[in-house]
Amino acid sequence: MVDHISKYFTSVNVKQISIFLLVIFMLVLPHFASPYFVSFFALLFMYIAISQCWNIFSGYTGYWSMGHQVFLGVGAYTMAILVTKFNYYDYFVLPICGVMAILTAILFAITSLRLRGSYFTIYSIAFAEIFKIIALNLDWLTGGGQGILLPPVYKLYDFYYQMLVMVIVVSGVAYFIKRSPFGYALFAIKDDEDAAEAVGIKTFLHKVVILSLSGFFLGIIGGLYAEFLTYIDPYVAFADIPLLVAILSAIMGGLGEVSGPILGALIYVPIMEYLWISFPYVYLIILGFSLVLIIRFIPDGILSYIPKIQQVFSYFKSKT
216 lies in a domain? yes
Q: How far apart are CA 269 and CA 250, in angstroms?
A: 11
Percent of the chain topping pLDDT 70 = 89
pLDDT band at 317 (very low <50, low <70, confident <90, very high): low
The answer, yes or no, to whether residue 2 has pLDDT greater than 50, is no
97 lies in a domain? yes
Choice between 127 and 91, residue whose per-residue pLDDT is larger: 127
96 lies in a domain? yes
The amino acid at residue 314 is S
309 lies in a domain? no
299 lies in a domain? no
- What is the tally of structural domains in the chain? 1
19 lies in a domain? no
- Helix residue ranges, H only, 113-180: 117-137, 139-142, 156-178
Neighbour-count burial for 5-26, b at 16+ CB within 10 Å, e otherwise: eeeeeeeeeeeeeeeeeeeeeb
Residue 8 has a pLDDT of 47
124 lies in a domain? yes
188-202 confidence digits (pLDDT tens): 999 999 999 999 999
Q: C-alpha angle with apex 183: 181 to 187, nearest 5 degrees?
A: 115
Domain hosting residue 39, numbered range: 34-240
42-90 confidence digits (pLDDT tens): 999 999 999 999 999 999 999 999 999 999 999 999 999 999 988 887 7
Note the Cα 97 to chain centre separation in Å: 16
**Signed CA dihedral, 81, 82, 87, 92: sign only:** negative
Residue 313 has a pLDDT of 57
252 lies in a domain? no
Residue 281 has a pLDDT of 76
What pTM value is reported for the model?
A: 0.90
Which residues, in sequence order, are CB contacts of 221 under 8 Å at separation 6+? Answer: 46, 49, 50, 53, 72, 75, 163, 166
